[in-house]
A and B are shown apart, each in its own frame.
Chain A
């Protein structure tokens, strides 16, 4: 895998850095990608979310879980 492939794989996570006031920031790996890599990361993220949902007992992707956590923490 190339360095770009690694960045793309990393950018597919639902984790995002947050500021103390709750703003959700871009992923550092996404920021390091050029435009074509970002488009690819977008496509790969679509795939990953469906895979995650298929493997989750409730059918939730990690984005559903991450947002649910944000709401619960409010």
Chain B
């Protein structure tokens, strides 16, 4: 959260070239910066497609196909302006979400979500937009999520909590998404229910702590 962002389009092109050269650190840093924006782009799908699964698969696809990015006659897969990797990955994520929906038993929802996928990104210049008038808004968002004071304050709030409350989230962080909560709970010698409660209580406690310091945490994602 505290990292510096590339200063412009040229820096983004250099970052893309590093990803094309299979620099996984460059990819991780790019992913880190754009994760919340990518996740927000899936909000309209959230009740019909698991956003986490769709996002992870889209990011994997982005890594696999970054070397062959070229104008394709459609949109987004062109290094044509700021955030082109972001816009491209949003397109991949939305297509992935639609495919998931078509494979599910909810064919009745496909039309509704297709409309969202087709219109919404262009409305907010996320995909295929040639104008740059919203770059200022995006920069403001980046500055907010990059706020090192927020990161420091979250760390302080977390450290004020009992070890028991911190254990579950720390276990998830250590595990890097490799095992489910039931397995992590067993490793900690606790029950699945207790583990899940610790996750929820940790989140609530940190949010309350941030609020006491005047930080309305959820406004960062509004």
List chain A positions with a Cβ less than 8 A from chain B.
Answer: 1, 5-6, 8-17, 23-27, 30-31, 35-36, 38-39, 41-56, 58-72, 74
Is B52 in contact with A14, judged by CB distance below 8 angstroms? yes
Answer whether residue B134 sits at the interface, using C-beta atoms and an 8 A cutoff. Answer: no
Contact present for A6 and B178 (CB under 8 Å) = no
Contacting A42 at CB < 8 Å: which of B3, B51, B53, B197? B51
Chain B positions 176-222 with a Cβ under 8 Å from a chain A Cβ: 176-181, 193, 196-197, 199-200, 202-203, 206-207, 217-218, 220-221
Question: A47 to chain B: which residues have CB within 8 Å?
Answer: 203, 207, 217-218, 221
- Shortest CB-to-CB span from A2 to chain B, Å, is 10
Main SS class of interface, B: helix
Q: Let me know if B124 is at the binding interface, CB within 8 A.
A: no
How many angstroms between the C-alpha atoms of A6 and B170 in the bound complex?
18
CB-CB under 8 A for A5 and B200, given A30-B50, A67-B60: yes
Give chain A's interface secondary structure class: helix
Q: For the complex, what is the distance from the CA of A48 to the CA of B198, rounded to whole Å? A: 13
Q: Does B5 lie at the interface of the complex (its beta carbon under 8 Å from any beta carbon of A)? A: no
A38 touches B46 (CB 8 A): yes
Q: Answer whether A63 and B200 are a contact pair too, CB < 8 Å, given A15-B177, A54-B151, A55-B158.
A: no
Instruction: State whether A55 and B56 are in contact (beta carbons under 8 Å apart), knowing that A15-B179, A47-B217, A62-B173 are contacts in the complex.
Output: no
Size of the chain B interface, CB-CB below 8 angstroms: 60
Query: In the bound complex, what is the Cα–Cα distance between A60 and B169 (angstroms)?
Result: 14
Compute how far the CA of A52 lies from the CA of B155 in the bound complex, rounded to whole angstroms. Answer: 10
Contact of B43 among A11, A17, A42 (CB under 8 A): A42
Further contacts, 19 of them, CB under 8 A, given A63-B52, A68-B176, A70-B56? A6-B193, A6-B200, A9-B196, A13-B177, A13-B181, A14-B56, A16-B53, A42-B43, A44-B203, A46-B221, A49-B36, A51-B202, A60-B28, A61-B35, A64-B28, A65-B176, A65-B177, A69-B176, A71-B27
Over the window 1-17 of chain B, the binary record of Cβ atoms lying under 8 Å from chain A Cβ atoms (1 yes, 0 no) is 11100000000000000
Given contacts A38-B46, A71-B27, contact A9 B39 (CB under 8 A): no
Q: How many angstroms from the CA of A2 to the CA of B195 in the assembled complex? A: 14
CA distance A57 to B62 in the complex (A): 25
CA distance A67 to B39 in the complex (A): 14
Q: Does B51 contact A64, Cβ atoms closer than 8 Å? A: no
B53 touches A27 (CB 8 A): yes
Q: Bound state CA distance, A45 and B145, in angstroms?
A: 15
